[in-house]
A and B are shown apart, each in its own frame.
Chain A
Amino acid sequence: MTTSPGYQRFDVVVVGAGVIGTAIAARLSATSARVCLLEATDDVAEGASKGNAGITSSYYAAPGTLESDVIAASYLRWDDVCRRLDVPFRRIGAVMAALTKEEADGLPGELANAKACGVGASIVSGDQARRLEPLIGPDCIQGLVLPDEGIIDPMRLCVGFAELAAHNGVEVRFDSPVIDIESHDGRVAAVITPQARIETSFVVNAAGLFGDLIAELAGGSSFKMWPRKGEYWLIDREWGRTLRHIVFAAPLPDSKGIHVVPTTNGTALLGPSVMDSDQRYDKTTDSETLAYVTEKTRRLVPSVPMDRAIKAFAAIRPASEKKVRIEVDEVVPNLVHAINRSTGVSSSLGIADMVAELLAGAGLDLAPRADALDHIPTVRRLLLDPEPETLAALDPRYTQVVCACEDVSAAEIQAALEMAVPARSIDGVRKRTRATAGRCQGSVCMAGVTFMCSLAQGRAPGDVVVTASGTAGA
């Protein structure tokens, strides 16, 4: 219903294309609501949603909290959702390893909490823990087994949510930071981006770390978000795939600790550290913190081969006084906040449902749409396909392996460049396919990926965006 360039009207504007914003967009896309998803950067999953351990928690927070409720409303649904949204997922289970008496003393409390959340859990001896996960070290004296924990590709989850939303008619706009919000009679009336003035009946604030700034622009209640930096190591698949379970450190009063987490592509993540700061864009790594992550990891899994580290990186997750904020704003009745500190992936399905209820309660008509899709096309992957030898007949471009470390073919990269929410940068290709993300970090394939982006996007190779708006050429 565009009446003129730069002027549009929607029922809901969702601000932020992280895992929560995309999950909400996907959820609302199955209804009669007209939805616009706005993202300040050039892709989905540019904040905490790309920098996390890729765990779908079953138990994380104390029973009776909002956080545990939204996780409980999500964790059993991943097998089905990931199949429909072409997202790598495996429910491999976790072992929380206690190495000291103090840590072991904490496990019965964790067990009781997990059970109160309705989650399967049991306490096992150190030997039983090692039988379950042979890479757990000899110092483990007791373990808490959480069989319903899963691993997921969090970036592909955001891509899947956004893709489903787009297929169902949600308008997804990138490079669209919210620079102002107009109000009328105490209600949000329009959202302003550099390109457009967008009239809307409701705004959903899923801006994560920047959620406080959106609330302020909307004249809503005042709260503060700040960045919590975590540093990680990524270890090669050759070792990572020998790890069969997530290994959690036993939580201490002040921290959840450093974990050892297999990823859906076979690598292993070590981390994260925790450091609060006031720098929302600071993603530098430092040697002291990385050494700390290594040391804490070795307590749990002594054999982790640091000479097989592919990459060290820092990621920012949003922190706030309120761990999870899913509510209609106290001041502005058509502004709904949907912000979570660090369990965004694990709670995204539950949060999306809850936001839909809040919107309906606030007067939005959300009639289910019979013609809405509930899945997106699946792209077969050379690395993980059970019958790779059949792929060439499907598309000859499967025989052109562009990224040899991660076995990513030209067929997969082309699919990433042509989807409804396509890769718009080399990072976008990396998120959707893992090309350039392997042990050589693009030393072999980055030029080839650049040329494929160049062709698909009709721009010179030097103008292809690599990451965070920086280009291949200078």
Chain B
Amino acid sequence: MSARSKVVVVGAGIAGLTVAGALASSADVTMIDRLPAAGGVLGYEHPAVRAEAAHARAGGVRSLLGTTALRWVDSRLLVAGPNGIEWLSVDRLVYAGGARPAVPSELRLLGPRVAGVVAATVAVHLAEAEVSMGRSVCLVGISDWAERAARIVRHQGARVTVVSTDEGRPPDYGDQWWMGWRAVAIEGTRRVSALIVARGDSHQRITCDTLILAGDSRPLRNVDGAIADAPGVEFAQRTEDRQSIEDVRRHSLEIAGRVRDQLAAS
């Protein structure tokens, strides 16, 4: 009997868990995640996460948690974690690293670099550590992150202004809305003092002391050699600002199917 193919899944959120569980019967699967717990943005207690984690575990998926994948070179993956820093030999890498909010240059957001301009991921993390994120917060984008960030900074007593190019109904977590407006520039010297928004030719200035970037999601990619399409790598990442767990699972199962076919063919 020939040795089973080795698959590493990077990312133990709902996408990575689903892929790992689906491949467990046809390959030797190791799942790694930067954090010391599975679950990703949903958290380990989420029922869907617990179900997929149980399925993966029952299938024999091995977990390396608290481990970061660093680079992918010729079917070898450099990882750093509790086992040290080591190269793993891997036949297929499935990257399921989730998403991140777009950064200022991706949003074509102009202006100086100042304090108080943060990704929603960072804002939530800091606010959970009881860092006060400001009294008047501008939130750019409508997304799952925007909702989490808005709820926690409002709990801190901030007034939240939501800016979105979306023309639709405003979300229920803002105090004020600029629907159909685009964030174009930051103002401030030490800290952000205002956001300039535009709609057609008209511009408006919204004063704020914190600007949270929460929209226009991008795939979070940080394994060198697997940033763009590369041999031996599949990406199980969807990047809508709001996505259902079912969509993510369906997409992950498609990727797992593709990998299974590739392994069978080789």
Q: What residues of chain A have their CB less than 8 Å away from a CB belonging to chain B?
A: 233-234, 236-238, 281-287, 290, 309-314, 382, 388-393, 398-401, 404-405, 407, 409, 438-444, 446-447, 450-451, 460-462, 465-474
Decide if B119 is an interface residue (CB 8 Å cutoff): yes
- Residue contacts A-B, CB under 8 angstroms, 13 given: A238-B224, A290-B110, A311-B105, A399-B85, A404-B70, A405-B222, A407-B71, A439-B222, A446-B119, A447-B126, A462-B130, A469-B190, A474-B132
Chain B residue at smallest Cβ distance from A236: B227
A397 vs chain B, min Cβ distance (A) = 10
> From residue 1 to 46 of chain B, which have CB atoms closer than 8 A to chain A?
34
B70 touches A442 (CB 8 A): no
B189 touches A468 (CB 8 A): yes
> From residue 43 to 84 of chain B, which have CB atoms closer than 8 A to chain A?
68, 70-71, 78, 80-82, 84
- A235 to B80 Cα, complex, angstroms: 26
- A54 to B100 Cα, complex, angstroms: 29
Residues of B within 8 Å of A389, CB to CB, are 78, 84-87
Chain B residue at smallest Cβ distance from A391: B85
A190 vs chain B, min Cβ distance (A) = 30
Residues of A within 8 Å of B191, CB to CB, are 470-471, 474
Decide if B245 is an interface residue (CB 8 Å cutoff): no
B209 touches A474 (CB 8 A): yes
- A290 to B209 Cα, complex, angstroms: 26
Residues of A within 8 Å of B87, CB to CB, are 389
- A261 to B113 Cα, complex, angstroms: 22
A474 touches B133 (CB 8 A): yes
Decide if B257 is an interface residue (CB 8 Å cutoff): no
B126 contacts which of A284, A314, A473 (Cβ < 8 Å)?
A: A473
Q: A468-B189, A470-B190 are in contact. Are A442 and B80 (CB under 8 A)?
A: no
B248 vs chain A, min Cβ distance (A) = 19
- A401 to B209 Cα, complex, angstroms: 31
- A453 to B121 Cα, complex, angstroms: 19
B189 touches A446 (CB 8 A): no
The A-B contact count (CB < 8 A) is 157
- A109 to B51 Cα, complex, angstroms: 72
- A281 to B189 Cα, complex, angstroms: 8
- A290 to B185 Cα, complex, angstroms: 14
A392 touches B80 (CB 8 A): yes
Residues of B within 8 Å of A468, CB to CB, are 113-115, 189-190
If A401-B34, A446-B118, A465-B115 are given as contacts, then 6 extra A-B residue pairs at C-beta distance below 8 Å, sorted by A number, are A233-B105, A284-B110, A440-B100, A461-B129, A470-B190, A474-B135
Residues of A within 8 Å of B100, CB to CB, are 440, 443-444
Of all A-B residue pairs in the complex, the 4 with the closest CB atoms, nearest first, are: A470-B115, A474-B134, A447-B125, A443-B119
A438 contacts which of B81, B135, B222 (Cβ < 8 Å)?
A: B222
B110 contacts which of A287, A392, A443 (Cβ < 8 Å)?
A: A287
- A474 to B118 Cα, complex, angstroms: 12
Q: What residues of chain B have their CB less than 8 Å away from a CB belonging to chain A?
A: 34, 68, 70-71, 78, 80-82, 84-87, 100-101, 103-106, 108, 110-116, 118-119, 121-122, 125-126, 129-135, 185, 188-191, 209-210, 220-222, 224, 227-228
- A471 to B68 Cα, complex, angstroms: 29
Residues of A within 8 Å of B210, CB to CB, are 474
B121 touches A404 (CB 8 A): no
B53 vs chain A, min Cβ distance (A) = 22
Residues of B within 8 Å of A409, CB to CB, are 80
Residues of A within 8 Å of B134, CB to CB, are 473-474
Residues of B within 8 Å of A474, CB to CB, are 116, 132-135, 191, 209-210
- A284 to B187 Cα, complex, angstroms: 8
Residues of B within 8 Å of A470, CB to CB, are 114-116, 188, 190-191
Q: A283-B113, A462-B132 are in contact. Are A310 and B82 (CB under 8 A)?
A: no
Q: A389-B84, A409-B80, A443-B119 are in contact. Are A462 and B220 (CB under 8 A)?
A: no
- A236 to B189 Cα, complex, angstroms: 27
Residues of B within 8 Å of A466, CB to CB, are 115-116
A388 touches B78 (CB 8 A): yes
B110 touches A286 (CB 8 A): yes
Among B68, B85, B111, B130, the most chain A Cβ lie within 10 Å of the Cβ of B85
- A281 to B104 Cα, complex, angstroms: 20
Residues of B within 8 Å of A465, CB to CB, are 115
Residues of A within 8 Å of B115, CB to CB, are 465-472
Among A404, A443, A469, the most chain B Cβ lie within 10 Å of the Cβ of A443
Residues of A within 8 Å of B228, CB to CB, are 238
- A282 to B188 Cα, complex, angstroms: 10
B221 touches A441 (CB 8 A): no
Chain B residue at smallest Cβ distance from A285: B110
Residues of B within 8 Å of A443, CB to CB, are 100-101, 103, 119, 121-122, 220
